[in-house]
Amino acid sequence: MKAVMVSRGGPPDVLEYKDTPTPAPEPGQARVGLKAAGLNHRDVWQRRAYTAPEANILGSDGAGVVEEVGDPEHQQWVGREVVINPSLYWGDREDGPGPGYQILGIPTPGTYAEGVVVPVDNLVPKPQHLDFLKAAAIPLAGLTAWRALFSQGRLAPGETLLLPGIGSGVAGMALMIAKKAGARVIVTSSSEDKLAKAIQQGADFAFNYTDESWEQKVREMAAPDGIDLVLDHSGEQTLPADLRLLRTGGRITFLGATTGSQLILNLREAFFKQVHLIGTTMGSPREFRDLFRFVEQHRLEPEINHVYGLAEASDAHRLMEEGRQFGKIMLEI
Ligand SMILES: NC(=O)c1ccc[n+]([C@@H]2O[C@H](COP(=O)([O-])OP(=O)(O)OC[C@H]3O[C@@H](n4cnc5c(N)ncnc54)[C@H](OP(=O)(O)O)[C@@H]3O)[C@@H](O)[C@H]2O)c1
């Protein structure tokens, strides 16, 4: 089969489109013939830092048709259109994954390929209202947003949610989901274009975080009583403002460190404010199924920014590194 392989760390050019043996599923596994794969920033980190001796395949998001299963018990999956849950071997607990936890796409071969082998337990039927590209745009970012908003963030209808950096795939997915769940959503961005698009998609307020008075504007115009929940993916540079804008007893779910991972926290300020700082990553099989039930129920359609062919994965990575996108960058296979 054709796949996009990485064999050494470096810039987007290190990605190679080439032939590799088609993998065969073992018992409990299925091979999905992929029709679409989605990019996440994780792929960029993995590509830059790749050091393993063997070449491997990037990609956590994928949708396609089951071609083969590894045992007769799962034969009914063959020929079905599916979306893949990229949370592998999560385990039995809902409050966090077990020790064998992995994310699809390094160390296991990922979805930038014509086929991928995954556990049958990680397959979910593709929502009928979505084509393969839109279905494959949801898994990693959607699952992460779902857990951060609900299981960890306990978002309730009518609450005010802050999404800093709406250009992020996770934040974009969170906007789409949170609006359907009845939240008031405030977004920030460095780009006026992205702010306008977020408003079109239902954001209630949008502020440019490069404007020095943005925090004051949030307080005056959008959240005089403070924010109930912040979903933060950029870390060091955004968390101090999140804490200042939070209401007493408010929650911050944090899941990324794009701008750095060190935080100097004034403990007195935090405990007097009764702040809940909640780390979160990916999600459980139950959350993945709940997410896709919600997507079907509300006929949600994720925003797609750009579609490349599989052979053009390097170009797709370049676009992601430039950070101009609003919505997902996809590979059509
Ligand atoms: N723990 C998990 O399970 C998990 C899952 C997915 C992603 N992540 C992490 O979450 C982060 C986001 O990933 P992603 O793929 O969704 O998106 P991404 O493409 O990494 O998002 C980049 C966006 O971050 C925003 N940003 C950068 N600096 C900012 C700042 N100072 N203030 C506010 N926003 C800022 C920008 O938004 P604007 O363009 O709007 O300014 C930029 O477009 C990454 O670090 C990723 O590794 C973690």
Ligand 1 atom with the shortest distance to the CA of 169: 16
167 in the same domain as 89: no
Query: What distance in angstroms lies between residue 333's CA and the mean position of ligand 1's atoms?
Result: 26
Ligand 1 atom with the shortest distance to the CA of 171: 16
31 in the same domain as 79: yes
Output the domain CATH number for residue 250. 3.40.50.720
Residue of the nearest CA to atom 23 in ligand 1?
168
315 in the same domain as 239: no
pTM surpassing 0.85?
yes
Query: What distance in angstroms lies between residue 40's CA and the mean position of ligand 1's atoms?
Result: 10
132 in the same domain as 165: no
Output the six-digit token pair for 242. Answer: 């999140």
What total of structural domains would you count in the chain? 2
Range of the domain at 67: 2-140+287-332
Query: What distance in angstroms lies between residue 168's CA and the mean position of ligand 1's atoms?
Result: 4
Q: Which amino acid, 23?
A: P
Render 215-270 in DSSP notation, one character per residue: HHHIIIII-TT-EEEEEESSGGGTHHHHHHHEEEEEEEEE---TT-S-----HHHH
Q: What is the pLDDT of residue 293?
A: 98
Is the residue at 145 inside a domain?
no
**Mutation to probe ligand 1, out of 192, 197, 232, 258 (largest number of atoms < 8 A from CB):** 258
Is the residue at 146 inside a domain?
no
168 in the same domain as 95: no
* Mean pLDDT, 10 residues at a time, the chain of 333 residues: 98 98 98 98 96 97 98 98 98 96 97 98 98 98 98 98 96 98 98 97 98 98 97 96 97 96 92 97 98 98 96 97 92 98
CB atoms within 10 A of CB 185: 26
Render 292-332 in DSSP notation, one character per residue: HHHHHHTT----EEEEEEGGGHHHHHHHHHHT--SSEEEEE
Q: What is the pLDDT of residue 324?
A: 85
Q: What is the pLDDT of residue 111?
A: 98
Is the residue at 240 inside a domain?
yes
List, chain by chain if needed, residues with CB within 6 Å of any ligand 1 atom: 40-42, 140-141, 144, 164-170, 188-191, 194, 209, 233-234, 237-238, 255-259, 281-282, 323
Query: What distance in angstroms lies between residue 181's CA and the mean position of ligand 1's atoms?
Result: 22
Ligand 1 atom with the shortest distance to the CA of 170: 16
